[in-house]
Amino acid sequence: MKKVWKSSAFLLVAATMFLTSACGSSSPASTSGSASPAATKAAEAAKPADKKIVLGFAQVGAESGWRTANTKSIQDSAKEAGIDLKFSDAQQKQENQIKAIRSYIAQKVDAIAFSPVVESGWDTVLKEAKDAGIPVVLTDRAVDSKDTSLYKTFLGSDFVEEGRNAGKWLVEKVKDQKGPINIVELQGTTGSAPAIDRKKGFEEVIKSNPNLKIVKSQTGDFTRAKGKEVMEAFIKSAKAENTKMDVLYAHNDDMALGAIQALEEAGIKPGKDILVISLDGTKDAFTAMKDGKINVIVECNPLMGPQVMQIVKDVVAGKEVPKRILTKEGVFPQETAEKELPNRQY
Ligand code: AHR
């Protein structure tokens, strides 16, 4: 008799836990990323303390120095946090990232984190994760899904603000200059959050000075090779049209470094004949800035691994996390390069 009571009680607890988590995953209340105390308890009970959390991380690729540092930060922090990390590199292709996320769902990981290569086209796979009860954490880049309950939180930079900071530096730098100032722009990956937002923020600020005009703008896909290739084409067409290029606005350091190589090969002095504005703040870019080839770097911080692991632990435990978590960043003009270079960690 005692035995029957015990197993019925177990079934009741198990059924309550199942219903609580099933309701939690489809309820509109989950849009806030929070969980009820009952759901938290259920999640904690469902995950024995000694069992390692399994995290599936779908990385964008290895397109830049920034990305390499980001990957290392994720891998090192997972190890340190005792999280079992399943890692994939999508080689900058959305279909590869979707495949990786689906495979993490099939493996029933405890959480999925990813840095979406582009903003659009995620709703279906995110819904599949949600239906499977797997919490998703966005890192570095955003998605444009209207249904924000499809992910728990987004940890990353404010790319619009980064673009504004680049624009503000330029507006101040050329405030006494007369006549047209021609800007050439190397955009990041087409459709990606940083490319869209960095352009938007920069344009918003530079329109305060009618002399500033973007005369050429093309994607360099965040890579050094593409940055060089596109800059070579810019130089060629500027020569043919007999137009001057006064400013280079590169959406990341790798493209800026590739462009610097192209400029030097064409006999143009980067940082002197043409102002160079870059984003990220890698050691390589700071070295180039110390050598006078870059005029300002707007920082974008890739070292988000420790924060990602804490968020993952929290969401797996059913704890409430803020829907948006911003990373802290600075602006470094050329005169700070020498002092700052030894402090760079990536
Ligand atoms: O999403 C962050 C951007 O992606 C970095 O600025 C760039 O270097 C990287 O490839």
Distance 193 CA to ligand 1 centre (A): 10
Task: Provide CB contacts within 8 A for 178, sequence distance 6+.
Answer: 211
Mean pLDDT of 85-99: 98
Q: Is 134 left (phi over 0), alpha (psi -120 to 50) or beta?
A: beta
Which two structure tokens, joined as six digits, stand for 113? Answer: 């984190």
Residue nearest to atom 3 of ligand 1 (CA): 194
C-alpha 334/C-alpha 297 separation (Å) is 8
pLDDT at 14 over 50: no
Shortest-distance atom of ligand 1 to CA 282 = 8
Give the per-residue SS3 of 286-303: HHHHHCCCCCEEEECCCC
> Which is nearest to 247 in space by CA: 209, 212, 210?
212
Residue 82 near residue 50 (C-beta atoms within 8 A)? no
Query: What per-residue confidence (pLDDT) applies to 251?
Result: 98
Tell me, in angstroms, the distance from the centre of ligand 1 to residue 19's CA. 41
- The ligand 1 atom at the shortest distance from the C-alpha of residue 302 is 2
Global pTM? Answer: 0.86
Alpha helices in the chain (DSSP H): 2-26, 37-46, 65-81, 94-106, 123-131, 159-173, 193-206, 224-241, 253-265, 283-290, 305-316, 337-340
Q: Mean pLDDT over residues 158-170, rounded? A: 98
Q: What is the pLDDT of residues 176-220, one digit of tens each?
A: 999 999 999 999 999 999 999 999 999 999 999 999 999 999 999
One-letter amino acid at 192 equals S
220 neighbors 248 (Cβ within 8 angstroms): no
Counted residue by residue, the chain has a size of 346
Residue 272 CA, distance from chain mean position: 31
**Chain center to CA of 193:** 8
Inform me whether the pLDDT recorded for 39 exceeds 90. Answer: no
Ligand 1 centroid from CA 67, angstroms: 6
Top mutation candidate among 67, 72, 92, 277 for ligand 1, by most atoms within 8 Å of CB? 67
Ligand 1 closest atom vs CA 194 = 1
Where does ligand 1 bind, in terms of residues with CB under 6 Å?
63-64, 66-67, 140-141, 194, 222, 252, 279-280, 300
CA–centroid distance, residue 3 to ligand 1 (Å): 59
Q: What's the first-to-final CA gap in the chain, in angstroms? A: 65
Q: Which domains does the chain have, with CATH numbers?
A: 49-157+303-328 (3.40.50.2300), 159-300 (3.40.50.2300)
